Amino acid sequence: MRGTLTVAAAAAALLVSAGPLPAAEAGGAVPVAAGRWGAHEAESFWTPERMAAARPLPPVPPQSPVAPQPPAMPDAPVSPGPTVTPDLTAPVTPVRPPAAVPAVTPSPTPDVATPEPAPTPTPGTLPAPAPAPAPAPAPAPARPALPRIPAAGPGVGQDFGGLPVVGRMYLVKGGGSYFCTASVVASPGRNLVVSAAHCLLGADTRQVAFVPQYTRARPRPFGMFPVVRTSAGRSKIWIDQRYRTQGVNRAAALDVAFAQVGPGPKGRRVQDVVGGNRLVTGAGYAHARATLIGHPSTAARPRLCVNRTTKYTSTDARIPGSFLRIACTGYPGGTSGGPFLLRLDNRTGTGDLVGVIGGWKTGGDKPDVSYSSYFGADIRRLYEKAVAGAKAP
């Protein structure tokens, strides 16, 4: 959500469904625990027609903190993690660590909590009259074909075919169907996506699903990955509790959310299918070359732009904090949650994630300048909570 609508327009938008909903849901909230919510259910609900009809979320009214809600997972103390998350995108080629922070050599044991692997028999270790031949190795997953990444001058946004690691996050709120932008972030469970917190805020957020590399011509090229629900029926989304209680302006520096997604229609984890960007925290504000990707509501395809980033410190006491700022043309509503990437690798389609569109006025009050909350210690701790809570079974 970008701050481009007036309060009056926002109120009007809330009264209009942004897409046709089933009769059972159009009249009000439905408990998220009702029924199963897997990849097939998500694809049945989010038809290509409903996805095309979805709209960006209307702005949250200013100075209206959200009522306190229980977090998706317990806020247990988490020890501070390293500055750079180890590259966990295999079999995708790792990207180079940022120059702004010390390089970390990936090791078999990541710095973050890794789920215990299920025991599997090892060929040749079981007693047998004669050695059994080793099974043929499983074929490596095919890498998604990457579209041509357009070359343009600094700050010029261009529509393109998209990247597999970036897509749309669909959700139902109230009586409407909406979307923001989201991307896969590398994690031990290989099942996390990141977006803006204002996109996923609220107990009435439901039917949430991630669609990699959405375009109107090919709405589900890799299928759909539903956001997992807890046994209590709550979507597994991690948002800093201060953002929930203080509101989108006072806590603008925390406008980041992580969500756990379940397997796609073929039973594979999202990072195994499309790869993942590596989370980088503490890398500073000024970067000579950052790539911004988002899904504008006005376009049938995503948009890409390359430019430098600068530091913006708010002078408005109601919206405190410092933010990354980038000048890129053509990023209206729908682009919220889109990644700021450093060192985007044209071969793998992944890079180093240092921000998402959101924060100062929820990402920017003009479509040609975008902002991100700074990825520092608070975002690192939030990511580690998500990693701990999203361990693969």
The model's pLDDT over 43-76, given as tens digits with 9 standing for 90+, comes to 999 999 999 999 998 776 554 444 444 434 333 3
Pick from 62, 61, 63, 53: nearest CA to 18: 53
Helical (H) or strand (E) element with 42:
helix 39-45
CA 170, CA 24: separation in Å to the nearest integer? 19
Mean pLDDT of 171-182: 93
pTM for this prediction: 0.75
3-class DSSP assignment, residue 244: helix
Tell me: the pLDDT tens digits for 300-310? 999 999 999 99
φ and ψ at residue 139, rounded to 5 degrees: -65, 140
Tell me: the pLDDT tens digits for 90-138? 333 333 333 333 333 333 333 333 333 333 433 333 334 444 444 444 4
CA 265, CA 276: separation in Å to the nearest integer? 19
Decide if 332 contacts 368 (C-beta within 8 A). no
Q: Give the pair of three-digit tokens for residue 121.
A: 């028999």
Q: Does pLDDT of 221 surpass 80?
A: yes
Tell me: the pLDDT tens digits for 338-373? 999 999 998 999 999 999 999 998 899 899 999 999
Decide if 194 contacts 185 (C-beta within 8 A). yes
Other Cβ atoms less than 10 A from the Cβ of 123: the count is 10
Total length of the chain:
393
CA 284, CA 11: separation in Å to the nearest integer? 37
Q: What angle do CA 281, 262, 265 make, to 5 degrees?
A: 130
**Residues near 194 by beta carbon (within 8 Å), at least 6 away in sequence:** 182, 183, 184, 185, 256, 257, 258, 259, 279, 337, 339, 353, 356
3-class DSSP assignment, residue 183: strand
**Residues near 225 by beta carbon (within 8 Å), at least 6 away in sequence:** 39, 42, 193, 209, 210, 211, 212, 261, 262, 263, 264, 270
Decide if 204 contacts 174 (C-beta within 8 A). yes
Other Cβ atoms less than 10 A from the Cβ of 311: the count is 12
Q: Give the pair of three-digit tokens for residue 380.
A: 């690192």
φ and ψ at residue 224, rounded to 5 degrees: -125, 140
